[in-house]
Amino acid sequence: MKTENKQIKASKWALSILFVISAVVLIMFFGIGYGNTTYSNGKNLTDPQYTSLLLIWLYTLVGLCVASVLGFGIVNGIRNLKTKTSGQQRTGFAGWVFIFTFALLAVSYFLSSTDPVRKGDGELVKTLWELQLTDVCLFTIYALVVVSIICSVISMLGIFKARK
């Protein structure tokens, strides 16, 4: 029981720290100056000063999310294998989440396009890995948003309530 309370306390602290850092980055992005002027498509555009910081923080959060989903999926899969041999009932969907995420990434990779794309500044992006990575990320985000909405609706309807 004590280790469970420590784990909950540690996760609350980690979530609080990530929230505070996110709030600071967003305040810096929206609140501090729009001093960078760029010329694109015949117009002078003003960019926020901390766009790169925001993007780096978003990439960091995505990396932490992917690492935690895969890490906890592997750990729970190993625990479920040990539980199966001891005769207890297996619980949890971590293995299914891991398989779904892997299958989603594989399908997204095969659906990705390698057609060159022109960026806003007129530069042509021809790098194969960059084009495929962008498509994989977009397809995966779209699919995960749909799955999240479906799971939220199912949760609100109470279809899979625990029976006592």
Residue 72 to residue 29: CA distance in whole angstroms: 32
Domain residue limits, the chain: 1-89, 93-164
Dihedral sign for Cα 162, 96, 15, 50, please: negative
Q: Which residues pair with 118 in a beta bridge?
A: 124
| HSE toward the beta carbon, residue 154, CA cutoff 13 A | 9
pLDDT of residue 21: 92
Residue 129 to residue 123: CA distance in whole angstroms: 17
User: pLDDT digit string (tens) for 122-144?
Assistant: 777 777 887 888 888 888 888 88
pLDDT of residue 164: 57
Q: Which residues pair with 37 in a beta bridge?
A: 46
pLDDT in tens, the chain (164 residues): 566 677 778 778 888 898 999 999 888 888 886 766 777 677 777 777 787 888 888 888 888 887 887 777 777 777 776 665 555 555 566 667 778 888 888 898 898 888 877 776 677 777 788 788 888 888 888 888 888 888 888 888 877 776 65
